[in-house]
Structure 1
């Protein structure tokens, strides 16, 4: 049955409106937004005092709830997709780590076999973080599996995934990277640059070859330099690119987050979590792929070397952090966690905004930016 949402604020695709009514059609898709003086006839669900936002889109996430894209079976992946509704995520790209070619093939086959069967947050693609990285900035990636880019190998993985594999992060200084980027982009794949020792010129060459993103900017790459510009400088300077950003307060300190968002504009920042299996779990011992990890004080670190090993961040927390740190308005913070990541991954037709005839995946937020309720296809699926 078609119904209408009444609330104090609506974060629509191109504007934010005070009050009014949002139509949710009986097919689980959005209809029109009506202003406060255009009260429609029909069932109205009243959220006076609360705000309505699009469901969040996490395009770089490895796990949570002790589930891991690299280790979990399909039942575990579906448990993960259900769990993400608790953090306001309604669409996501399961993200791999660097691993052996056979392991990555098996993961692609699993996702390809079960494409469209998830019952929670929607799997809108698959993101390969690696294996085409450089050892110096591998971070928590296992260096023994690092390779030069190979388009034939990548296409074999992509075929096995039934076309789900639609994003890859790589290091542009690897042999053959520019040629690989050019071919992958022709196929509609999104290429992001990261886990790299590249200088400014190498990063720029990767972008001009067709890459459009930087992977968890400032992490897994050399720091910015005013004498010898690096990939970090390229992320700051280049036009028309999207930069992923982990806003947990540990990976990038709030002062740099503020400066970077002011520099690029929120329309070029995609908030991600890079969350691993310890997300929504207590402190203790976990693993990242084959590498042992410990979680303490809100951080996941490798036991060997103490590098940060992904995060335990949830995307709704990143949105709240951005607002609480006075980095951006609620409107901009939500855009950075919904519209921008969806657009960056070429899935904006499926998710990322409130617009007519898009799936009615939306959130009910409190004015302090905490999550109250998550809807999927117009049905309430989680209440805080």
Structure 2
């Protein structure tokens, strides 16, 4: 399939391009041209902005469905629900749970992917846990916490047919260093989360291969002038990415702005969305925990934040408003940075010749007018 996109603006990696035609061929981006051949198929999005598809590397569920439901249908519904919101790629994300439930979740994700997803496409599985510690447990169930085990991970990876691309752990746990070295060498993104670690402990785990901090400022020791803690390690180490939930609940806007200024391209926007996303206020579950959502904020009975109900495009909007940075820069923190964190920036994350043609059409109100996956428009706004 060959066609050209005409639009007012295109959000590129290093600038905002105005006018012209973008070639789409065989599901990939081509070059920009000022004129098209006679009789060419032109998709006219005059008055609109074209942006790369968003990539949510940390999402548990949405619209009443959760990965831990252990059903392929749940993964399929999540895929379909986030496509109209501009997300073209995602990582179905598990929670700390029993061995049986984790295995079932992995199997259900694998089955859904193998059958084929109708909306956003999965780029693998993210295991959030179970190798955490209790002090900053958040909505993770401590009864299942344990030390990292390479043999256990190998069992999961075999079950997943190699689809696990990211796993989170607390670096202070026994065996965390050798586990990180071995798993990182296999190309899995080891991430730091739900931890009471010191700055030095974090530095050691990054030396061993860890390259990401999960939901920065949440589920970790804070910044202190005598002990920089996990937050200090995340902000000061240019080797590691840091995830940020920009819903205004998890992180104060001014702190989010500071994190953006410090981390720049190493900051990536996530949602950590759970099943209450896109749903009305009320009672829900996150894993085994009852959760109450009020005014869009989800909390456990103990008062801990329980994931979020944020949508990634709203996180982009918020960070743009909080930082007053150009949209093309902030947008890529939700598309290119996630792709780079997983070593997938050669094919995803930005509008560049040769990359997969995942793109979003934005109208002047910053609403998603259409979403395309590999050049095929799979969602279009009815109006």
TM range (shorter): over 0.9
Partner in structure 2 of residue 94 of structure 1: 92
Q: Offset of 1:368 from its aligned partner?
A: 4.5
CA distance in 1, matches of 2:379, 2:112: 24
Is contact 2:150–2:179 with CA below 8 Å preserved after alignment? yes
Partner in structure 2 of residue 345 of structure 1: 342
- The more displaced of 321-330 and 43-52 is 321-330
CA distance in 1, matches of 2:154, 2:343: 18
Is contact 1:190–1:212 with CA below 8 Å preserved after alignment? yes
Is contact 1:316–1:370 with CA below 8 Å preserved after alignment? no
Q: Offset of 1:14 from its aligned partner?
A: 4.8
CA distance in 2, matches of 1:333, 1:77: 28
Task: Write out per-residue CA displacement over residues 80-115 of structure 1, whole angstroms, 9 at most, x where no aligned residue.
Answer: 101110211000000000011222122222233443
CA distance in 1, matches of 2:364, 2:36: 23
Task: Write out per-residue CA displacement over residues 267-317 of structure 1, whole angstroms, 9 at most, x where no aligned residue.
Answer: 1111000000011111100000000001011211002x1100000000011
Is contact 1:112–1:163 with CA below 8 Å preserved after alignment? no
CA distance in 2, matches of 1:136, 1:170: 13
Q: Offset of 1:44 from its aligned partner?
A: 1.4
CA distance in 2, matches of 1:47, 1:325: 29
Partner in structure 2 of residue 376 of structure 1: 373
Partner in structure 2 of residue 244 of structure 1: 243
Partner in structure 1 of residue 125 of structure 2: 126
The runs of at least 4 aligned residues of structure 1 exceeding 6 Å deviation read none
- The more displaced of 71-80 and 164-173 is 71-80
Alignment of 1:1-384 (within 5 A): 1-25=1-25, 27-34=26-33, 37-41=34-38, 42-116=40-114, 117-265=116-264, 267-303=265-301, 305-384=302-381
Q: What is the number of equivalent residue pairs in this alignment?
A: 379
**TM-score normalized by the length of structure 2:** 0.95
What SS does the aligned partner of 2:30 have? strand
What SS does the aligned partner of 2:45 have? strand
Change (3 A) 1:367 1:225: farther
Task: Write out per-residue CA displacement over residues 208-253 of structure 1, whole angstroms, 9 at most, x where no aligned residue.
Answer: 1100010000000122111222101111111221100000011001
CA distance in 2, matches of 1:232, 1:323: 22
Q: Offset of 1:143 from its aligned partner?
A: 0.7
Q: Offset of 1:15 from its aligned partner?
A: 4.1
CA distance in 2, matches of 1:327, 1:15: 15
What SS does the aligned partner of 1:182 have? helix
What SS does the aligned partner of 1:325 have? helix
Q: Offset of 1:257 from its aligned partner?
A: 0.8
CA distance in 2, matches of 1:382, 1:328: 28
Task: Write out per-residue CA displacement over residues 20-67 of structure 1, whole angstroms, 9 at most, x where no aligned residue.
Answer: 111122x22222222xx3344412122122110110000000000101
Is contact 1:261–1:327 with CA below 8 Å preserved after alignment? no
Is contact 2:79–2:120 with CA below 8 Å preserved after alignment? yes
Gaps of 5+ in 1: none
Q: Offset of 1:72 from its aligned partner?
A: 4.5
What SS does the aligned partner of 1:120 have? coil
Is contact 1:364–1:374 with CA below 8 Å preserved after alignment? yes
Is contact 2:168–2:193 with CA below 8 Å preserved after alignment? yes
CA distance in 1, matches of 2:213, 2:324: 20
Is contact 1:270–1:340 with CA below 8 Å preserved after alignment? yes
Is contact 1:362–1:374 with CA below 8 Å preserved after alignment? yes
**TM-score normalized by the length of structure 1:** 0.95
What SS does the aligned partner of 2:178 have? helix
Is contact 1:273–1:312 with CA below 8 Å preserved after alignment? yes
Gaps of 5+ in 2: none
CA distance in 1, matches of 2:346, 2:109: 21
